């Protein structure tokens, strides 16, 4: 029983560290997108995406962070995690296909990995049973 409690405590710590890191990354990149940062506009257009997509993705990232962090609503959390997975895997794939360097690929890859780890270690009360 004691080992199970230690494991649950460890998993909860891992969950919160990676979730807060993911949330910070999503909010900061959403801010850059919503403020139409010059470098981000160049990044988006170099991938062939329209600038208005920055607003859509930025708003959805912020809403997703709220969904993941608020208590309850496990179905909403699953949708948010799925959205983060699709957006970040799409970003990584887009950069790889466009022959961008590792410096452009790594931020999206990091957020993708943080999303997966956060989802995997989420506590039982944040899962659909």
Question: pLDDT tens digits, residue range 66-111?
Answer: 999 999 999 999 999 999 999 999 999 999 999 999 999 999 999 9
pTM above 0.75, yes or no: yes
* Residue 69 · residue 89 · CB < 8 Å: no
Counting the structural domains of the chain, the total is 1
* Residue 116 · residue 85 · CB < 8 Å: yes
Average pLDDT over residues 23-41: 97
Average pLDDT over residues 29-36: 97
What pLDDT does residue 125 have? 87
Residue 81 CA to residue 83 CA, distance in Å, equals 5
Could you tell me the two tokens for 59?
């708003």
What pLDDT does residue 42 have? 94
Three-state helix/strand/coil letters over the chain: CHHHHHHHHHHHHHHHHHHHHHHHHHHHHHHHHHCCCHHHHHHHHHCCCCCHHHHHHHHHHHHHHHHHHCCCCHHHHHHHHHHHHHHHHHHHHHHHHCCCCHHHHHHHHHHHHHHHHHHHCCCHHHCCC
Structural domain including 109 reads 2-126
């Amino acid at each position: 029983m004691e080992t199970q409690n230690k494991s649950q405590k460890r998993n909860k710590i891992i969950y919160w560290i990676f979730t807060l890191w993911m949330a910070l990354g999503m909010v900061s990149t959403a801010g850059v997108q919503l403020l139409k940062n010059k470098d981000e506009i160049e990044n988006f257009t170099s991938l062939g995406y329209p600038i208005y997509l920055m607003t859509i993705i930025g708003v959805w990232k912020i809403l997703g962070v709220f969904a993941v962090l608020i208590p309850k609503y496990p179905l909403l959390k699953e949708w948010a995690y799925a959205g983060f997975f699709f957006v970040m895997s799409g970003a990584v794939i887009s950069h790889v296909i466009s022959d961008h360097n590792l410096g452009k690929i790594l931020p999206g890859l990091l957020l993708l990995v943080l999303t997966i780890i956060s989802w995997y270690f989420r506590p039982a009360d944040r899962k659909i049973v």
